[in-house]
Structure 1
Amino acid sequence: MRKWEKNEEKLIEEKQQCIKALLNRPWVLKEEDPETFQQIKDHYEALRDWFHDYLGFPLLVTRQFAKVEKFPETYHCWMGIDEFKQSRDYALFTYCLWYLEGRGDGEQFLLSQMVEDIRDHLHTYDVLIDWTLYEHRLSMARALKKCRDLKVLLSVDGEEGAWARDEKANVLYECSPMARYVLRRFSKELMHYSRIGDFRAELDEKDEKVKRRQRVYRRFVQEPVIYDSDWSEEERQYVLTQRRSLIDQLQTQLGLEGRRYREALVLFDPGLSAEHELFPTLSSVSDLLILTASELRKKIAKGYYEQKEDGRIIMSVTDLESLLFYLRDKHKEFWSKEHRVASSKELLKQVVSHLEEWHLGALEEQEVTIYPALSRWIGEYDAFAGGDMS
């Protein structure tokens, strides 16, 4: 079927898939997903304009890949790279990219040469890296694996895990042409910037109305839920007065549905998209959060807890720990072995981490605040469906 003969519904669906792919992947590679890559090229002008006008993100399309230069409006701890365990991993990942930018496309080199050059370069800034230390090699191995996952580094022979275990091991790598496109380009050398705000000043639009719109849309497409209290007064007024336009725009472009609650404008994906992770996740800890929400509803009805005017529930760490212990005792036949045998402290840690990751709650000293969006969920195990959450 010729492109101009496609019906409007098909075109909208194609654009939605393109936008989801560009927002949720580092990039769309032609050799890995030629169909989506071609659709992005077909809709290039419309996609470029939408990303620029509503998100302030530039769209880059080359012969090999398509990529949107994304950056968050608000920074959260869960926005990091899951595989990285400490700040050293991020630093070494950046220096891996620095090293690769100096290599030619398809150029091969040994890991031993790479780590020696990076170590010597860091020493000029009085940063000590010692590859005889297992922890330093392990950090580098995580950084190298991420480079391979992104296809900016190709392994010809060997793997970095063996080097992490034994510094005498070696790996033969090949530099990919993608390496120079990972880091964002700025008009000045990075050493000229002293604060995060300096970067943002260069990225943001100068027109205040456009800047406000882009701030709002960036948060809606990058964060799981934004409560009214999370917005500035100016942004909150925009969300309230432009609610219908926001919902229509995000439904048309991303297939999302919006609903206004007392505490927030909340977006839902009615389908099971493979491009982004949705709550509840496939992880069983999401089930624990929904069970907790259901039990809290019952306890509020009986007067055990008070729901604040803004919909939040504040409880002590001990109370949440006791509640999880009660839920495990009640539903243990449906719980995974990991959660059945976990200590109450470990169970609490996992639940709080999941709450914070999805902006459904937060731990502050000895109190846990349950945010109102979680109370919108309710679920029980269905014994007749093999213990599935319903």
Structure 2
Amino acid sequence: MEETQIFDEKAMQGLDLLFHHYWILRADQPEWYHLIREREKVLRRYINEKFGLRMIVHQHFIKLEKIPVEPEVWMGIRVFQEPIDYGIFCCALSFIEGKAVDEQFLLSELCQDIQTDYPGEFPLDWTLYTHRRALIRAVKVLMDFQLIRTIDGDIGRFDHNEDQEVLYEATIYSRYFMRTYPDDFSSFQNWEELVREDWKLNQEDERRKRVYRKLFFSPGLERKDLQDPDFLYIRNFRNRLAEDIEKHSDYKLHVYKNTAFLSIAAPRQYHQVFPNTKASTDIVLQVSKFIHTQPDRFKANENGEILMTEGEFEQVIDELRQAKATGWSKYFRENSTSGVRSEILAAMKEWMMVEVEEETSLIRFKSLLGVLTGEYPVDFVKGEAEQ
């Protein structure tokens, strides 16, 4: 059997790189690029069979089109703050896709084109500071993805001066950023239609592909009800799934009554893992431990969820603050209870540990929150008490 037919350590590394990077640029990561090219055949087969995803191999880059089963709040471009950021970004993509490779253009040309095409309810006005800031965020993302490069000038100065000029150049990657669709993009009315279109191409073994995507693309998978088909698939084929995942990656499958997720023993630098170095995840672990130690006070429903009002959760935070605040970062020690609540809820939302009902503000703590707990070491607690 040829070496390229074997799913070996190189193939495992290639799969991991594809999952954790938007694309692999040959000019920037030549070793990664050639590693994936060497294992292209076996990677393409496995990705298609288990995930139903498309891998694009180009002479300048390799890209795995990662389409989630359901879009989540944490899946957007992290530096974007408002819908206007995405609108400007998409208009800018349309502009640069019309440029030839290495063709140069001015910021003023880009601004004028975006202003003309912008589909928002209110027109863009570059004399407004908030609109200029949104443009700066969008342009910086274009640069981060290397869709454009700066030839002369500084976009940061546009912050205070709408007449600031910058010279840019379109790159070879600019016309490959967006996905290609079998139908005219304008024929889709909403994102749900885009998702349905993707699954039309994956009707064979759709359940398996849904489960693999959920496990690899999300922090965890929650059981929605007793007849949740995706979770039933995991329960029924648990051993087979675990064996396959461990054979083709460094991850291990964990299955509990109401949740399932993947873990890794030795995460790489580019991995996003929980807990991370942010102070908010320390408090999330303490919240989990606090709930665990009081089962009579916090009772789970049939789906393993614990429900609280905002006031009840703030009471939890106040009690935690009294017991643990000496170990909290200065930012959280000095923040208000409502401020800490907002920060911690935002962190838990990103890790799919909580849902907040918009109408009632009722907080649903998911089973995934209870998988890990955290506590300060005894010597740390004693040291604080002696001071």
* Same fold flag (TM > 0.5): yes
Deviation at 1:205, TM superposition (A): 4.4
Q: Do structure 1's residue 290 and structure 2's residue 323 form an aligned pair?
A: no
2:297 to 293, 304, 309: 304
Alpha-carbon distance between aligned partners in 2 of 1:88 and 1:386, rounded to the nearest angstrom = 47
The one-letter code of the counterpart of 1:92 is I
Partner of 1:316: 309
The one-letter code of the counterpart of 2:336 is S
Q: What TM-score do you get using the length of structure 1 for normalisation?
A: 0.90
Partner of 2:327: 334
Change (3 A) 1:205 1:154: same
> After superposition, what is the alpha-carbon deviation per residue over 1:355-390, rounded to whole angstroms, capped at 9, x for unaligned?
221111222324322212222222211264799xxx
> After superposition, what is the alpha-carbon deviation per residue over 1:296-352, rounded to whole angstroms, capped at 9, x for unaligned?
12222xx22223343322223222212212222222221111001001000000111
Change (3 A) 1:295 1:48: same
2:37 to 16, 34, 41: 41
2:276 to 276, 281, 290: 281
User: What is the correspondence of 1:166-205 to structure 2 with a 5 Å cutoff?
Assistant: 166-205=161-200
Matched residues, percent identical?
A: 25
Q: What TM-score do you get using the length of structure 2 for normalisation?
A: 0.91
The one-letter code of the counterpart of 1:151 is Q
Q: Do structure 1's residue 363 and structure 2's residue 356 form an aligned pair?
A: yes
The one-letter code of the counterpart of 2:11 is K
The one-letter code of the counterpart of 1:132 is T
Alpha-carbon distance between aligned partners in 2 of 1:231 and 1:276, rounded to the nearest angstrom = 32
How many equivalent residue pairs? Answer: 378
The one-letter code of the counterpart of 2:99 is R
> After superposition, what is the alpha-carbon deviation per residue over 1:94-131, rounded to whole angstroms, capped at 9, x for unaligned?
111111111111111110111112223448x9862222
Alpha-carbon distance between aligned partners in 1 of 2:361 and 2:189, rounded to the nearest angstrom = 36
Alpha-carbon distance between aligned partners in 1 of 2:226 and 2:74, rounded to the nearest angstrom = 19
Alpha-carbon distance between aligned partners in 1 of 2:20 and 2:342, rounded to the nearest angstrom = 27
Deviation at 1:260, TM superposition (A): 2.1
Partner of 2:143: 148
1:261 to 253, 256, 265: 256
Deviation at 1:207, TM superposition (A): 6.2
Partner of 2:63, secondary structure, is strand
Partner of 2:385: none
The one-letter code of the counterpart of 1:136 is H
Alpha-carbon distance between aligned partners in 1 of 2:347 and 2:117, rounded to the nearest angstrom = 39
Deviation at 1:230, TM superposition (A): 6.7
Partner of 1:12: 8
> After superposition, what is the alpha-carbon deviation per residue over 1:147-183, rounded to whole angstroms, capped at 9, x for unaligned?
0000111011122221132112111111111001111
2:61 to 65, 76, 81: 65
The one-letter code of the counterpart of 1:55 is F
Alpha-carbon distance between aligned partners in 2 of 1:232 and 1:75, rounded to the nearest angstrom = 22
Partner of 2:86: 90
Conservation of the 8 A alpha-carbon contact between 1:132 and 1:167: yes
Alpha-carbon distance between aligned partners in 2 of 1:380 and 1:80, rounded to the nearest angstrom = 32
Alpha-carbon distance between aligned partners in 2 of 1:126 and 1:228, rounded to the nearest angstrom = 39
Which sections of structure 2, spanning at least 5 residues, go unmatched?
383-387
Q: Do structure 1's residue 133 and structure 2's residue 128 form an aligned pair?
A: yes
Partner of 2:294, secondary structure, is helix
Conservation of the 8 A alpha-carbon contact between 2:52 and 2:202: no
- Root-mean-square deviation (Å): 2.3
2:214 to 191, 194, 219: 219
Q: Do structure 1's residue 378 and structure 2's residue 340 form an aligned pair?
A: no
Select between 227-236 and 53-62 the one with higher mean Cα deviation.
Answer: 227-236
Alpha-carbon distance between aligned partners in 2 of 1:32 and 1:307, rounded to the nearest angstrom = 49
Change (3 A) 1:288 1:207: closer
Deviation at 1:87, TM superposition (A): 0.7
Partner of 1:229, secondary structure, is coil
Which sections of structure 1, spanning at least 5 residues, go unmatched?
none
Alpha-carbon distance between aligned partners in 2 of 1:316 and 1:386, rounded to the nearest angstrom = 30
Alpha-carbon distance between aligned partners in 1 of 2:16 and 2:73, rounded to the nearest angstrom = 22
Alpha-carbon distance between aligned partners in 1 of 2:267 and 2:258, rounded to the nearest angstrom = 25
Conservation of the 8 A alpha-carbon contact between 2:88 and 2:118: no
Alpha-carbon distance between aligned partners in 1 of 2:227 and 2:21, rounded to the nearest angstrom = 29
Conservation of the 8 A alpha-carbon contact between 1:21 and 1:275: no
Partner of 1:346, secondary structure, is helix
Alpha-carbon distance between aligned partners in 2 of 1:254 and 1:334, rounded to the nearest angstrom = 36
Alpha-carbon distance between aligned partners in 2 of 1:231 and 1:268, rounded to the nearest angstrom = 25
Partner of 1:347: 340
Alpha-carbon distance between aligned partners in 2 of 1:304 and 1:45, rounded to the nearest angstrom = 55
The one-letter code of the counterpart of 2:303 is D
Deviation at 1:266, TM superposition (A): 2.6
Partner of 1:299, secondary structure, is coil
